[in-house]
Copies of this chain bind each other. A is one copy, B any other.
């Protein structure tokens, strides 16, 4: 990887929407939204962010890299947990501020131990305080997987 990753800057709305050049529209923090789905089941596994370097590394290597807003750091999915994501397909959306990756997820995507971060359902047809419904069990024990050396 070169030291400084850059993509061509976004052009007009028409260029972004109908062009065939990847010109990501990074936000004020230099990030695009990334949605990872399970390539086999279609389940949404996680929503995270990529900066230019994470996006370039993901494209180049076919392994998912992200940028952690809370830690302010580039992050290879699975570097702590071993639960990496092999990217089967990547797509970009109309205004190029979001990417969708279909991945083969080893273990679980969520740091809480579930396969998907979306392990609670929100009931519909309600108003006021909303009680969530758990809908996924843990597939690993985060205390074991994220144990410090």
Listed in ascending order, the chain A residues whose CB lies under 8 Å from chain B are 1, 7-8, 17-22, 33, 35, 37, 41-44, 46-47, 56, 59-60, 62, 87, 89-94, 98-100, 110-112, 114, 117-127, 129-135
- Asked if B90 and A122 make an inter-chain contact with CB atoms under 8 angstroms apart, the answer reads yes
- Asked if A46 and B118 make an inter-chain contact with CB atoms under 8 angstroms apart, the answer reads no
A118 to B118 CA separation, bound complex (whole angstroms): 21
- Asked if A92 and B112 make an inter-chain contact with CB atoms under 8 angstroms apart, the answer reads no
- Asked if B62 and A120 make an inter-chain contact with CB atoms under 8 angstroms apart, the answer reads no
- Asked if A126 and B59 make an inter-chain contact with CB atoms under 8 angstroms apart, the answer reads yes
A100/B44 contact (C-beta < 8 A), A60-B126, A121-B90, A124-B87 known = yes
- Asked if B117 and A93 make an inter-chain contact with CB atoms under 8 angstroms apart, the answer reads yes
Which B residues are in CB contact (< 8 Å) with A99?
122
A114 to B93 CA separation, bound complex (whole angstroms): 11
A21 to B126 CA separation, bound complex (whole angstroms): 13
- Asked if B62 and A124 make an inter-chain contact with CB atoms under 8 angstroms apart, the answer reads yes
A89 to B43 CA separation, bound complex (whole angstroms): 12
Name which residue of chain B comes closest to A42, CB basis: B42
A127 to B93 CA separation, bound complex (whole angstroms): 20
Which B residues are in CB contact (< 8 Å) with A7?
130
- Asked if B93 and A132 make an inter-chain contact with CB atoms under 8 angstroms apart, the answer reads no
- Asked if A20 and B131 make an inter-chain contact with CB atoms under 8 angstroms apart, the answer reads yes
Which B residues are in CB contact (< 8 Å) with A123?
59
